[in-house]
Amino acid sequence: MVLQAEPIFTAVEQVEENHGPCRKILLTPVGRVLNQDLAADFSKEERLLLLCGRYEGFDERIRQGLDWTEVSLGDFVLSGGEIPALAVLESTARLLPGVLGHEESAKQDSFGESGILDHPHYTRPAVFRGMAVPEVLLSGDHQAIEAWRADQARQRTLKRRPDILPDSD
């Protein structure tokens, strides 16, 4: 079964009449893969409209006649775009002022301002089942701690996601 054009056009037109123009996002496995840059782009919009794919997809005229940004979550099969829509919603909303408790939080996470993976985190106790917190983190030397974190983030990214590591010169 394929989603028909008529009810989709009517719904989109009604939403835009009632609320104003929207950045229209189509969740579909043939879209571009969601990443932090795209979420940042969405977070600058006044209003988003999300349309989820289901069944075998959309009548192609839904693509032709309306201006969509087509978004996928990656190369795996789902039954519908609802979960991808929630991923768009959360990745976008957390970039809006006041959504996170601490404004710096979003910058520090993996793919945040640095664009690479986050460093390891520890909490108490200093030793858990024989596994110790790295000594530098207990040193109170904030400059040394920052250097350790930057190095760990880089090493981790090199090992796990070399594809996102910026070229060093």
Q: Which of 58, 81, 106, 153 binds ligand JDN (CB under 6 A)?
A: 81
* E-assigned strand segments in the chain: 23-33, 48-52, 68-72, 127-128, 131-132
Catalytic residues: 29, 56, 94, 109
Residue 33, burial from CB neighbour count under 10 angstroms (0-12, 13-18, 19+)? exposed
CA dist 27 and 33 (Å) reads 10
Residue least distant from ligand JDN (Cβ): 53
Q: What is the nearest approach in angstroms of ligand JDN to the Cβ of residue 97?
A: 28
d(CA 161, CA 154): 10
Kindly state the number of chain residues that form the binding site for ligand JDN, as judged by CB under 6 A: 13
Out of 8, 12, 84, 157, the only residue in the binding site for ligand JDN (CB under 6 A) is 84
Choosing from 5, 22, 78, 100, the residue that interacts with ligand JDN (CB under 6 A) is 78
Query: Which is nearest to 36 in space by CA: 85, 102, 107, 103?
Result: 107
- Burial label, 88 (beta-carbon count in 10 A; 0-12, 13-18, 19+): buried
- Judged by CB under 6 A, the residue of 29, 66, 116, 157 near ligand JDN is 29
**Contact with ligand JDN (CB under 6 A) among 8, 24, 28, 148:** 28
Side-chain half-sphere of 103: how many Cα atoms within 13 Å?
3
Binding status of residue 73 toward ligand JDN by CB under 6 A:
yes
Cβ proximity to ligand JDN, 27 vs 49, nearer residue? 27
Give the nearer residue to ligand JDN in terms of CB position, either 48 or 52.
52
| Binding positions for ligand JDN, 115-154, rule CB under 6 A | none
